[in-house]
């Protein structure tokens, strides 16, 4: 085994679901389970290429989609560009910089959120509405990007 619990969890799920573990797949899982930067498919592609220069982007998409369908990665749709992937599936939200695209994790109190969900949302929806996933995003400008963009104050 190894010391990354997310990696282990995903490998166990992969095996349980009967998917085979190819070198490319393992590398993709390693990258996504270790990264904190919420990479795009292309980002993952470029990393995998370092080890497997012949890998195709299609393989990246296929594997990331598969992992998303297994709920082992989360897809983050940003406003400006492509889908970003998150190997951290614990309860949290994201602060997304609209200029540089940086995505920062935002802690969400589980009790607050669950309470919010149970009381405020669940009873508003059709009783057989099934929630499977959530997203909490804050869009804005990160520290580095939000310096000099105030509308000319002369």
Partner DNA sequence: TTATTATATAATAATAAATATTATATAAAA
Partner DNA sequence: TTTTATATAATATTTATTATTATATAATAA
> Where along the sequence are the contacts to DNA (CB under 7 A)?
19-25, 40-42, 52, 54-59, 61-63, 65, 81-83
Lookup result for tokens 């560009």: 81
Measured CA angle at 125 (ends 121, 126), to 5 deg: 155
Lookup result for tokens 């930067």: 37
Q: Of 89 and 95, which has the nearer Cβ to its own copies?
A: 95
- Total residues contacting Mn ion by CB under 5 A comes to 3
* Residue 153 makes contact with its own copies by CB under 8 A: no
Q: Smallest gap, in angstroms, from Cβ of residue 76 to its own copies?
A: 9
Q: Smallest gap, in angstroms, from Cβ of residue 75 to DNA?
A: 8
Q: How far apart are CA 137 and CA 103, in angstroms?
A: 10
CB atoms inside a 10 Å sphere around CB 116: 13
* Residue 88 makes contact with its own copies by CB under 8 A: no
């Amino acid at each position: 085994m190894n010391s990354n619990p997310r990696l282990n969890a995903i490998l166990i799920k992969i095996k349980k679901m009967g998917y085979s573990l190819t070198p490319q797949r393992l590398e993709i899982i390693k990258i996504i389970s270790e990264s904190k930067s919420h990479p795009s498919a292309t980002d993952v592609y470029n990393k995998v290429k370092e080890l497997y220069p012949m890998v195709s982007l299609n393989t990246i998409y296929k594997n990331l989609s598969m992992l998303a369908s297994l709920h082992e990665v989360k897809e983050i749709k940003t406003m400006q560009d492509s889908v970003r992937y998150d190997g951290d599936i614990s309860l949290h939200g994201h602060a997304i910089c609209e200029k540089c695209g940086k995505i920062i994790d935002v802690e969400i109190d589980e009790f607050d959120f669950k309470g919010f969900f149970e009381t405020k949302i669940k009873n508003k929806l059709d009783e057989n509405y099934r929630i499977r996933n959530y997203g909490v995003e804050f869009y804005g400008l990160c520290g580095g990007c939000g310096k000099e963009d105030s509308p000319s104050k002369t």
